[in-house]
């Protein structure tokens, strides 16, 4: 066998193997795209898309794009913790992710990489806002359904209008 013929056979065989591998990978990708497991996160952020009931808590979840559980995890608090504990953890995490003040004298040599994260800082702020919104919701009393007054009576504080004149 000549050397060019062997090289061509190796090239053809390698191309066939690679082609089959890409074909199988494509099939697997299509299968994975069709299958969406229950707990998987896609465009649905932490259960925000599943907050579809009309409850006030679900509306807050959709508004803040964060569940109460996620906010509690970010701030490392429990649901029953007080607002003071939430604010204490918030302040600590916010300061920990803030940029360090500029040094008075520039240091020669290697520049220090930034040790802060604007992304984490914004997540901490959003988590605090979400927990505060939930606490505010819990504090506001549910409005009582307005009952219609009985015929011939008026509601407290309302004035009775006289009937129109008969002609």
CA gap 79, 138 in Å, rounded: 12
Per-residue pLDDT of the chain (167 residues; tens, 9 = 90+): 678 899 999 999 999 999 999 999 999 999 988 876 655 544 444 555 555 667 777 888 888 788 889 999 999 999 888 889 999 999 999 988 888 777 677 667 666 666 778 888 899 999 999 898 888 888 877 665 555 555 555 555 555 666 666 65
Q: Where in the chain are the domains? A: 56-99+117-138
Q: What is the DSSP string of 110-167?
A: SPPPP---HHHHHHHHHHHHHHHHHHHHHHSPPPPPPPPPPTT---TTPPPPPPPPP-
Domain covering 56-99+117-138 assigned CATH 1.10.287.110 in the classification: yes
Is the overall model pTM greater than 0.85, yes or no?
no
């Amino acid at each position: 066998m000549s050397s060019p013929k062997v090289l061509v056979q190796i090239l053809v065989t390698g191309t066939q193997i690679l082609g089959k591998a890409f074909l199988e990978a494509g099939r697997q990708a299509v299968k994975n795209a069709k299958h969406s497991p229950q707990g998987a996160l896609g465009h649905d952020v932490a259960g925000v898309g599943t907050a579809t009931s009309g409850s006030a808590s679900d509306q807050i979840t959709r508004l803040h794009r964060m569940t109460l559980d996620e906010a509690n995890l970010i701030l490392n608090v429990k649901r029953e913790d007080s607002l003071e504990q939430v604010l204490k953890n918030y302040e600590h995490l916010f300061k920990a992710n803030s940029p360090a003040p500029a040094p008075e004298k520039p240091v020669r040599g290697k520049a220090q990489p930034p040790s802060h994260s604007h992304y984490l800082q914004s997540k901490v702020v959003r988590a605090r806002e979400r927990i505060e919104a939930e606490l505010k919701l819990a504090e506001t009393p549910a409005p009582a359904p307005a009952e219609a007054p009985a015929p011939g009576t008026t509601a407290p504080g309302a004035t009775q209008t006289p009937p129109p004149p008969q002609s």
